[in-house]
A and B are shown apart, each in its own frame.
Chain A
Amino acid sequence: MHQDEIPPGTLYLLILKALARHGELHGYEIANWIEQVSDEVLQVEEGSLYPALQRMLIKGWVTAKWGVTARNRRARYYQLTPLGRKQLEVEVSQFERVVEAITRAIQTA
């Protein structure tokens, strides 16, 4: 199976979306969800996931707290803040605008 790296700038969008969809996820679950929902096309590099999460914490888009997994392991769960929810809308509309533009560009005969 061929795997693509996530285009730069859209990782925030995907993380925000994952959290909006599921409420509370830890890092591995976020990566997993993105891979599964994209039929394994998108691959989340740990090398970008954790820096991105740190940045989002500082921006105040997400909060983190320690919890326990189903198998009783301590894990750090991330949650959207109201600010993060707003940011998700911004990122989605921005992404759609860009994709639309790119699509138009490549479909031009």
Chain B
Amino acid sequence: MNWFCELVGRLWTLIHRKQFDSDLQEEMRLHREFREQAQIELGLSPKEAHYAVQRRFGNDLVLREESRDMWGWNWLEHLVQDVRYGLRQLRRNPGFAAVAVLTLALGIGANTAIFSVVNAVLLRPLPYTEAERLVTLDETGELQAGMGMSVAYLDFRDWQRENHSFTQLAAFLGDDFILSLPEGTEYLHGRDASADLFSVLGLRFALGRAFLPEEDRQGGRPVAIISHHFWQQHFNGSSTVLGQAVTLNDKAYTVVGVLPAGFRFVRESDVYVPLGQVDPVQLQDRKVHSGIFVIGRLKPGVTLDQARSDMALVQGQIAQAYPEADKGIRATVMPLKQYLIGDDGRTLMLFLVAVGFVLLIACANVANLMLARSNARGREFAVRSALAGCCKTDDLRGANGFSREKAHK
């Protein structure tokens, strides 16, 4: 508790330091008067007594300064003095101040701008549950050299069944829809999604549910999941939307779920329908197909390398079983974040380093300006240090600021 009492005491003196100072001054004056009185009683003349006491006391200001030292706030007073002095100098030279402020502002501004991008893109995790365990899977071969969207649906189904590395694998395909409304038609961007897509991402529905496995196949019930935006726009956010029908490409789909607000994956989509119901022509051929985008969630404790060798094994078996379509095709696994950022990450870091140097250069320029100015102010420094009665070059404050401490030493 002692340190606490002391802290409170110190704060008290900080708040009331004018009062404390004047109290101290008055009690020291009184002390001196008593002392003088005593000297006079010993037989000294009032004048002699006065000087004797003066000698004994020494410099009143120094004494008060030393007493104030005990409050432990001198550093703060010096800081305030230095800041005031700095502000005074800036006001006196508005041109210099403007140039210095502008230089630093540009340097700092550029850094802040780039850093906020780096923070958003590189540092912050993707907005999905345990996003570090999300990966994308792809097929590469002689024909399929692209990045993403090139997996055959049947291969994907085999991967789902055979792998030992993922809690879930999900797939989707970008698709366009024509929405029929009483007042006309509207073009929509949507997706064909496998039943697990939303649970792989760890999504919580605003309303309703994901697709059921039996809906995610040929002949399943036509159901749709809509985006939050679409829900607000066409259903005014009404909770009765579940079970209602939307007409997409002249086919009636029943709404079973509403995605949470702000959800986007790679890009925003208005509607999702089951991938398994897509025209078999697009899905049922291993060799010629639309190419789907596959993501997976690694099982806890499974590393990327383990998943890669597992998938190499699985895909190897598929290639053996279907040599005509899958010969020479390998499965690749890549962290989702790496896939989404791509080479932009390196470019961004390069930018960050570059603007870092810009700030350094700005600082160097300001330092140069200061140096040039202090050369011009040589005379002023000389006068100041002479007036301050102190020639210590190691403490610029004394020369600079007319600090009270130095002024009377």
**A residues neighboring B (CB under 8 Å):** 26-28, 31, 46-47, 50-55, 57-60, 64, 66, 73-76, 83
Q: Could you list some 15 contacts between A and B, CB below 8 A?
A: A46-B57, A50-B24, A50-B64, A50-B66, A50-B67, A54-B71, A58-B71, A59-B2, A59-B9, A60-B2, A60-B5, A60-B9, A64-B23, A76-B26, A83-B2
Closest to B34 in A: A28
Per the bound structure, the CA–CA distance linking A65 and B33 in Å amounts to: 19
A57/B27 contact (C-beta < 8 A), A28-B35, A47-B63, A51-B66 known: no
**Chain A residues within 8 Å of B6, by CB:** 58-60
Residue from the list A27, A51, A60 in contact with B27, Cβ < 8 A:
A27
A74/B26 contact (C-beta < 8 A), A46-B63, A54-B68, A54-B70 known: yes
Closest to B66 in A: A51
**Chain B residues within 8 Å of A55, by CB:** 70
A76/B63 contact (C-beta < 8 A), A50-B28, A83-B5 known: no
Residue from the list B23, B66, B70 in contact with A76, Cβ < 8 A:
B23
Closest to A55 in B: B70
Q: Is B47 an interface residue (CB 8 A)?
A: no
Contact assessment for A58 and B10 in the assembled complex, using a CB-CB cutoff below 8 Å: yes
Contact assessment for A46 and B9 in the assembled complex, using a CB-CB cutoff below 8 Å: no
Per the bound structure, the CA–CA distance linking A26 and B26 in Å amounts to: 12
Residue from the list A47, A50, A58 in contact with B13, Cβ < 8 A:
A58
Per the bound structure, the CA–CA distance linking A76 and B67 in Å amounts to: 15
CB contacts under 8 Å to A, within B20-37, are: 23-24, 26-28, 30-31, 33-35
**Chain A residues within 8 Å of B5, by CB:** 59-60, 83
Q: Is B268 an interface residue (CB 8 A)?
A: no
Contact assessment for A27 and B13 in the assembled complex, using a CB-CB cutoff below 8 Å: no
Contact assessment for A28 and B30 in the assembled complex, using a CB-CB cutoff below 8 Å: yes
Closest to B68 in A: A54
Closest to A83 in B: B5
**Chain B residues within 8 Å of A60, by CB:** 2, 5-6, 9
**Chain A residues within 8 Å of B72, by CB:** 58
User: A-facing mask of B35-49, CB < 8 A → 1, else 0?
Assistant: 100000000000000
Closest to B31 in A: A28
Closest to B5 in A: A60
Contact assessment for A46 and B28 in the assembled complex, using a CB-CB cutoff below 8 Å: yes
Q: How many A-B pairs fall under 8 Å by CB?
A: 70
Interface size class of B (residues with CB under 8 A): 20 to 34
**Chain B residues within 8 Å of A46, by CB:** 28, 31, 56-57, 63
Q: Is B58 an interface residue (CB 8 A)?
A: yes
**Chain A residues within 8 Å of B58, by CB:** 47
Q: Is B130 an interface residue (CB 8 A)?
A: no
Per the bound structure, the CA–CA distance linking A59 and B370 in Å amounts to: 44
Min CB distance A20 to B, Å, is: 19
**Chain A residues within 8 Å of B77, by CB:** none
**Chain A residues within 8 Å of B9, by CB:** 57-60
Contact assessment for B67 and A51 in the assembled complex, using a CB-CB cutoff below 8 Å: yes
Per the bound structure, the CA–CA distance linking A31 and B31 in Å amounts to: 10
Contact assessment for A26 and B66 in the assembled complex, using a CB-CB cutoff below 8 Å: no
CB contacts under 8 Å to A, within B171-194, are: none
Contact assessment for A51 and B28 in the assembled complex, using a CB-CB cutoff below 8 Å: no
Closest to B20 in A: A54
Min CB distance A59 to B, Å, is: 6
Contact assessment for B30 and A26 in the assembled complex, using a CB-CB cutoff below 8 Å: yes
- The 4 A-B pairs at the shortest CB distance, nearest first, are namely A54-B70, A58-B9, A55-B70, A28-B34
A51/B70 contact (C-beta < 8 A), A46-B57, A59-B5, A76-B23 known: yes
Min CB distance B22 to A, Å, is: 11
Min CB distance B60 to A, Å, is: 10
A-B contacts besides A51-B66, A59-B5, A60-B9, 16 pairs, CB < 8 Å = A27-B27, A27-B30, A28-B34, A46-B31, A47-B66, A50-B27, A50-B28, A53-B67, A54-B24, A58-B6, A58-B9, A58-B13, A59-B9, A60-B2, A66-B23, A76-B30
Min CB distance B125 to A, Å, is: 49
